[in-house]
Amino acid sequence: MAILLTRQHKVLVQGITGNQGRFHTKQMLEYGTPLVAGVSPGRGGTTVEGVPVFETVKEAVAATGADASIVFVPAPYARDAAFEALENGIRLLVLIPEHIPVLDTIDIVTRARELGVVVIGPNTFGLISPGEGTKMGIMPNHIYRPGPVGVVARSGTLSYEIAFQLTQAGLGQTTVVGMGGDPVVGQNFVSILEAFHRDPETRAVVLVGEIGGNAEEEAARYLAEFGKPVVAYLAGRAAPPGKRMGHAGAIIERGQGTLESKERALTAAGARVVTMPWQVAEAVREVLRG
């Protein structure tokens, strides 16, 4: 099984005629994603990789029944694209762009919660469900295999490395979720862990965190009721306080969000914390053995 994204979804791509939209549409189709429509104002009536393009989300939803959207539009237009999706029947929204203004993201997330829409991102690699053979994101197709391990990550590239090592070790994945690297995102570790908790085929979870913010400490407080083994790797061991590392969410301020505080909280909650990414697969194998 999988969380959040299944083959029952009908996916559309907002910004499908741009370079990134075209490229990743092809990749998603090759992976098996049920991609039914694209949206690009001024390009309605054309196709991309055989996918029909519509002028608006409203038209696309009416014609195809799409209920999930992945957004590939420039950051200044992402709020408008997101609200167009939210107000026209989309119930799973993946926001790929980085540099979306924080106030825009707050507006998007607030409206999504009012409507009961799941938002992944922004500044995310998306999500992929190998067990379902479907993805909404920019991750490389070949590194994932179906299996019993859920993965939730703040870091994109690091999650690719860890997923590939899991696959090489014969440990496939149910779903891999990129929360997003911005200070405000649609999902947090707890909401994703709750979804993995409900999935009977997810037997263990890898949590890929990093310095900055308090998302990992919040996850640690939830682990007491999670009931499944968790392996955690946290990036940023060598980062100096006050220095932004990689993206807006990874910054230590006034002693908050340090690697030490996160590792301490997760370890106390029963997670298996490793110090190097290549240690994750063996740790997962061990916790699955019990």
Please say if 247 is a catalytic residue. Answer: yes
Residues 77/39, Cβ–Cβ less than 8 Å: no
Distance between CA atoms of 96 and 73, rounded to whole angstroms?
8
Q: Nearest-CA neighbor of 217 among 204, 207, 205? A: 207
Locate 95 and state its tokens.
Answer: 């926001």
Strand partners, 231: 206, 272
Distance between CA atoms of 172 and 149, rounded to whole angstroms?
6
DSSP 97-143: -S---HHHHHHHHHHHHHHT-EEE-SS--EEEETTTTEEEESS-GGG
Distance between CA atoms of 198 and 157, rounded to whole angstroms?
27
Instruction: Return the H-helix or E-strand segment holding 274.
Output: strand 272-274
Distance between CA atoms of 194 and 201, rounded to whole angstroms?
14
Residues 257/251, Cβ–Cβ less than 8 Å: yes
Distance between CA atoms of 190 and 213, rounded to whole angstroms?
14
Q: Which is the catalytic residue, given 9, 99, 197, 247?
A: 247
Residues 173/144, Cβ–Cβ less than 8 Å: yes
Where in the sequence numbering do the catalytic residues fall?
247
